[in-house]
Amino acid sequence: MLSKIKSYGLMGIDGFSVSVEVYVSGGLPAYDTVGLPDAAVRESKERVRAAIRNSGFEFPMQRITVNLAPADLRKEGSVYDLPVAIGLLDATGQIRNRTFAEKYLFLGELALDGTVRGVAGILPMVIGAYGQGVRKVIVPLENAAEASYIEGVEVYAAESLKHVVDFLNGEAALMPTPARKWDRAHIACPMDFADIKGQQGAKRAAEIAVAGGHNLLLVGTPGSGKTMLARSIPSILPELTFEEALEITKVHSIAGTLQGTEGMVSERPFRAPHHSASTASLIGGGQRAMPGEISLAHYGVLFLDEFPEFRKDTLEALRQPMEDGSVTIARAATRSTYPADFMLVAAMNPCPCGNYGSRISPCRCTQQQIARYLNRISGPMLDRVDLHVEMSEVGFEDIASRSAGERSETVRARVNAARRVQALRYKREGIWFNAQLTSRMTARFCALDAQAEALLRKAFASLRLSARAYTRILKVSRTIADLEGSEAIRSHHVAEAVQYRSLESKYWGDTRR
C-alpha cells in the first residue's frame, strides 16, 4: 500500500516542499530510502522502527520503500522522522482517517521511545509551507512557540508519535497552539554610553555608524576603551521591526541557536567571534552549509576585536558579503544563500605592541613591524569600512570626572528618529537605511550643493580616495544630515564625513607605497 505525507526541506534560508512517499509491499523484509537522503535521513529507519514499536504500534515485516520527492534535491537532517513514521502507519492501515494527508504537514525528529524531538529550521519551513498553501502543521512541542507567530497557520504541538496517531484517529485531542503576537523588542545591553569616560569623538562616530548602518573601525592603544565602546553599541541600536525579527529568527532557527521560550528573537544580535575563528565559522559552511557568524549577525553587529589578528583569507572572505548583504555557500549538490546584512565594528591596536602614538608607554616596534602589522588589513577591506576612528588615551580629568555623560537612551532616540526618516525616504526602494544605498540610489538621494561638492573634490585628490570610498563618504554625509534633521547635505556634513577617512592616510599611507 502507498501513502503520501507532506513535509518540507531547506536550502539555505529558503525551502521546498517534500512529498514523503512510503510504499509497503510483499517480499523479503527490507527498508530502503531514496531521493538524495543524507546520512541523518538514512539513519532514520532505526529511529522510526524503534519509535513505532515503543509507541505500541506494529512495524511491518515487509519490503518498505521510502521516497523523498523531488528526488533531485538533497534532503538533510532528522526532520523527516515523523512524516516517515506517519506514512508507514498510514500505509499499513493503522491510521483509519484517510483524509488527513491532504490537510497536515509533518515535521519532527523521533526519539527511540516515540517522543517527538525539536529540529532546527522550523520557522523558515513553516513560512515556506504557508506560502505554498499549507494551513495546518504538526511540529515538535519544542518548536511550537516559534511556529505560532505565523498568522494563518494552525500549529499543532506534538509530544509523541502515539499522541499524533491518536489525534489523527480521533481518539485524542490536539488543540492548535494559540497564535502569538510579537511584542516590540527590548534592549538588554548591560552597558551604557554614560559609562564611557571621555572619547566624545568616538561616541559621535558610533552614533553615526548605527544611525546609517555603516561599518566602523576603532584604532587605539590598549586601555583606550575600544572594546567597551563596541560592546556598548547594542544599547543604541534602533528598534527592531517585526519583519527584521522574523528574518533574524529564521537564520537562528536554522543554526539551532534560538534561546528562551518565546520562539522569536527580541533584540538585534551582537556577535563577537574570537580572532582564531576559522573562515567557515565566520562566513558559514561545513558539511551541511550552515550559517556563519556574519549571518547570525544579520540586522545586528559583528564585532571583530584584534582585527589584524584574524587570518587574512578570513578577512578577505568578508568583502563580498559586506557589499551584497548576503552570502552564498556552494557545495557539490547544493547552493545555500543566507542573509548577512550586518554592521561591522572592528577594533585594533596601531602596532604589534599597541603603544604606537602613546603618550604614556613608548612603542618598541620597528617601522617594518608596524607596516607588516597594518598591511594585514588590505586596502579593499579598509575601503569597505565607512568610518575610521582613532581613540586616544583617556586623561585623568575624564576618568575622575563625576559629571554624567549622555545616556544611551538619549542617543538611541536620535538614532531612531534618523532611521524613521530613512525608512520613509526609501519606502519605495526596498531598503531601510543609508548604508544599503546602491550607486544609482546614491546619486539620487545624496546630491551635493556646489560648496559641498568642491570640498569633496579637494578631499578626493588630497586623500587619494577610491571610487568606493567616495560613495561611502556620500552615504555617511547623508546620515549626518539625517541626524541633524536636514534634508539637504551641506558642506559641514561632508567635512565631518571626510574626517572619518583621514586615518587611512595617517596609518596606511606610507605602508602601501
Q: What is the CATH number of the domain that holds 386?
A: 3.40.50.300
Question: Rounded CA gap, 24 and 194, in Å?
Answer: 69
The answer on 290 and 155 residing in a single domain is no
How far from chain centre, in Å, is Cα 227? 22
The dihedral sign for the CA sequence 231, 232, 234, 237: negative
Q: Are 154 and 203 members of one domain?
A: no
Same structural domain, 12 and 125 = yes
| Same domain assignment for residues 220 and 367 | yes
Last residue of a domain, one of 368, 393, 426: 426
If we measure between CA atoms, which residue out of 165, 73, 172 comes closest to residue 110? 165
- 330-385 pLDDT, tens per residue? 876 678 899 999 999 999 999 999 998 888 888 999 999 999 999 999 999 999 99
Same domain? 111 vs 202: no
Residue ranges making up the domain that contains 391: 193-426
pLDDT of 385-439, one tens digit each? 999 999 987 766 666 666 767 899 999 999 999 999 999 999 999 999 999 999 9
Q: 326 exposed, middle or buried (CB, 10 Å; 0-12, 13-18, 19+)? A: middle
**Coil, helix or strand for 140?**
strand
Residue 173 lies in a domain: no
The answer to whether residues 114 and 75 belong to one domain is yes
- Same domain for 243 and 355? yes
Indicate if 249 and 353 belong to the same structural domain: yes
> Which of 410, 426, 442 is at the close of a domain?
426
Domain boundary among 168, 184, 217: 168
For 494, phi and psi rounded to 5 degrees? -65, -40
The SS3 of residue 503 is helix
| CA–CA distance, 95 with 486 (Å, rounded to integer) | 67
- Asked if residue 513 has pLDDT above 60, the reply is no
Average pLDDT, the chain: 91
My answer on whether 398 and 328 are in the same domain is yes
Q: 54: domain CATH number?
A: 3.30.230.10
**In a 3-state reduction of DSSP, which class is residue 330?**
strand
Which grid coordinates belong to 301? 553587529
Does the residue 440 lie in any domain? no
pLDDT digits (tens, 9 = 90+) for 9-55: 998 888 899 999 999 998 899 999 999 999 989 999 999 999 999 99
Would you say residue 278 lies in a domain?
A: yes
> Does 285 lie in the same domain as 395?
yes
Which pLDDT tens digit goes with each residue over 85-120? 999 999 999 999 888 999 999 999 999 999 999 999
> Are residues 292 and 154 part of one domain?
no
The total domain count for the chain is 2
Are 224 and 358 in a shared domain? Answer: yes
